[in-house]
Amino acid sequence: MKLGLCGRTVLVTGATGGIGEAIARAFDEEGARVAVAYRGNREAAEKLAADLGDAFAVHYDLEDPDSPAAAVAAVHERWGSLDVLVANAVRWGERRTPGTGFEDVPEQDWLPVVGGNLAPVIRTVQHAVRGMRERGWGRIALISSHNALGGNKGQEFYGSAKAGLHGLARSLMWDVGGDGVLVNVVSPGLTMTDRVRDGLPEPVKARELANTPTGRLSDPSEVARAVVFLCSEANGNVTGAELTVAGGR
């Protein structure tokens, strides 16, 4: 199967994280040109870009309203166009303290999680989609979370923000589908990144494995391959879809 990504330009936000890096590397393996977007770890982003073929590091901050426009403009300045956007950057929120009810969480604690995981993605898509429309081809992958579908106690606000990405894709597809732009959502479950491997308590890992039909957590590369397919020419007419990579969860 030919993916048709050789020479395509790709912006991956949150590219220095475990899943983001895997996505960037997977596009590079297909011959795409990759903009590695980072928030704070410039050194890691530049190192990753140096490991890839045609790539560069670009700053992207979910908390800066001007950052989405600047990141998209940087890709256009370097390569003349942006063909693929992978919105992977995330603003993590703390779980509710045990014994604290949903109604007890103050707005100043939950509003940054909801706003920080949804509004910046909408801004970035707005800036990216204009050029895609003009050229009559584009692919957008919004990285959500299994929590948006199955839920998770204590993560109501994060789950709400990620669920908003599904609504965005389902509505946006009506506006851009006729212009050759496909927009989809990929929802990873708990994924075996370095952060999970080294930081997740063993009892939690064991519980997750017991509740996963395949009996194992996904590797970041497996999430990346799903993203690459949806953002390729091999995907000719899948849009507004949600693909869960969670071993059957």
Number of domains the chain contains? 1
Which spans in 177-219 are helix H? 194-199, 202-210
- Which of 60, 67, 144, 145 does the annotation list as catalytic? 145
Say which amino acid occupies 19.
I
The pLDDT score that the predictor gives to residue 57 is 97
In which band, very low, low, confident or very high, does the pLDDT at 241 lie, cut at 50, 70 and 90? very high
The pLDDT score that the predictor gives to residue 46 is 96
The pLDDT score that the predictor gives to residue 100 is 80
What's the pLDDT tens digit per position in 195-236?
Answer: 777 777 888 888 888 888 888 888 899 999 999 999 999 999
Over the Cα atoms of the chain, what is R_g?
Answer: 18
What's the pLDDT tens digit per position in 117-160?
Answer: 899 999 999 999 999 999 999 999 999 987 767 767 767 888 88
Distance CA 187, CA 172 (A): 18
Cα 80 to chain centroid, rounded: 23
What number is the average pLDDT over the span 154-174?
A: 90
Does residue 3 belong to any structural domain of this protein?
Answer: no
Does residue 88 belong to any structural domain of this protein?
Answer: yes
**Residue the block writes with tokens 């009559």:** 136
Does residue 4 belong to any structural domain of this protein?
Answer: no
Helix axes 42-51, 18-29, angle to 10 degrees: 20
- Of the chain, the percentage scoring pLDDT greater than 70 comes to 96
- Which of 144, 158, 187, 218 does the annotation list as catalytic? 158
Quick one: which of 153, 147, 140, 158 has its CA closest to 188?
147
Residue 116 clears pLDDT 80, i.e. is over it:
yes
Does residue 214 belong to any structural domain of this protein?
Answer: yes
Residue 97 clears pLDDT 80, i.e. is over it:
no
The pLDDT score that the predictor gives to residue 221 is 93
Does residue 185 belong to any structural domain of this protein?
Answer: yes
Q: What are phi and psi of 190, to 5 degrees?
A: -60, 125
Does residue 182 belong to any structural domain of this protein?
Answer: yes
What's the pLDDT tens digit per position in 77-88?
Answer: 999 999 999 999
Distance CA 143, CA 89 (A): 8
Per the CB < 8 A criterion, the answer to whether 162 and 148 are in contact is yes
Distance CA 114, CA 107 (A): 10
**248 or 80: whose pLDDT is higher?**
80
Cα 162 to chain centroid, rounded: 10
Tokens of 126: 């707005």
Q: 219 vs 53, 180, 191, 209, CA distance in Å?
A: 23, 31, 6, 13
What's the pLDDT tens digit per position in 27-57?
Answer: 999 999 999 999 989 999 999 999 999 999 9
Tokens of 37: 């977007």
Strands (E), 39-101: 55-59, 84-87
The pLDDT score that the predictor gives to residue 93 is 65
The pLDDT score that the predictor gives to residue 204 is 80
What number is the average pLDDT over the span 91-100?
A: 71
Residue 61 clears pLDDT 80, i.e. is over it:
yes
Quick one: which of 242, 245, 188 has its CA closest to 14?
188
Per the CB < 8 A criterion, the answer to whether 157 and 113 are in contact is yes
Say which amino acid occupies 50.
A
Active site residue 158: yes
Does residue 99 belong to any structural domain of this protein?
Answer: yes
Per the CB < 8 A criterion, the answer to whether 242 and 169 are in contact is yes
Q: What is the CATH number of the domain that holds 22?
A: 3.40.50.720
Q: Which domain holds residue 122?
A: 9-245
Tokens of 101: 């009810």
Distance CA 112, CA 93 (A): 8
Distance CA 196, CA 190 (A): 8
Q: Can you give the pTM of this predicted structure?
A: 0.93
Does residue 2 belong to any structural domain of this protein?
Answer: no
Quick one: which of 239, 235, 232, 238 has its CA closest to 4?
232
